[in-house]
Amino acid sequence: IVYSKYINFQRSNPVENAANGFASTNYKNSFTAKMPVDSLFYSLKALVPVTKAENSVGLDEVITSKNEKSGRYFLYRYWYEQNKIDPYAAYKNYMKYAIAVDKRYRSQFGYGFETDRGYTYLKYGMPSEVITRESEPTAPPYEIWFYDRIEQDDQRNIKFIFYIPSLAHNDYILLHSNCRGERNNPTWFYELYSKRNDSNVRNMKPDQIESFYNELKNSFDNNAVRLWEELK
């Protein structure tokens, strides 16, 4: 299941608008009215991956402001729009999914759904295939995710590559994707392999990078490009 609906809040002052909206609704019996504050903001942060861009600023401001009343309204209104008959059921169903993603991808830097892999998982669902390489001699650990189809806008053959840029960071970050709206990095392969013990690669000029890509496509020591090309 991919959750992609959104609430169309006014853009002038998202925090104030949300607070006023909550005050004007019959929320005393809603599931957000007495929700513990830590659970409230955990739930709001879990919404970030599935909130449409036009409302992400409003959600970010509600979270940053730590305005409890605004947060309760935003969360209630979101799930009311998902399921007007039983918004709490829709909320519970999603949070089971979000909590599982949090546990799987949690890092020292935040909740699992705040990491690049967790964000991608919540936004687009389970990938059709995952290829993990943790001990390739010439590259840091990386993962390639492949989606046969992404439902929101019917994209097909979508790929993401995540990598650990340094041991100090120790978490996978998005290096490149062919998905619309996500990070598109045409020289991702150079970044992935530029730290290998080869001065010719580290000092490569721009006009040499394309030739390097073609070289990597046929390599069985440097697998990422070949694997990327083979996923279809």
- pLDDT digits (tens), the chain, 232 positions: 444 333 333 334 444 554 454 444 566 678 999 999 999 999 999 999 998 765 667 899 999 999 998 899 899 989 998 999 999 999 999 999 999 999 999 988 899 999 999 999 999 999 999 999 998 988 999 999 999 999 888 999 999 999 998 876 778 999 999 999 999 998 899 889 876 555 566 677 777 877 888 888 887 778 999 999 999 8
List the one residue out of 156, 155, 157, 175 whose CA is nearest residue 165. Answer: 175
Amino acid 193: pLDDT:
86
Burial grade of 222 (CB within 10 A; 0-12, 13-18, 19 or more): buried
Amino acid 210: pLDDT:
78
Q: Hey, which residues does 173 pair with through a beta bridge?
A: 163
Tokens of 155: 């994209």
Q: Hey, which residues does 143 pair with through a beta bridge?
A: 132, 162
Up-side HSE of residue 190: CA atoms within 13 Å toward CB?
18
Burial grade of 83 (CB within 10 A; 0-12, 13-18, 19 or more): middle
Do the beta carbons of residue 171 and residue 115 sit within 8 Å? yes
d(CA 21, CA 164): 43
pTM of the model: 0.84
**What are the phi and psi torsion angles at 219 (to 5°)?**
-95, 140
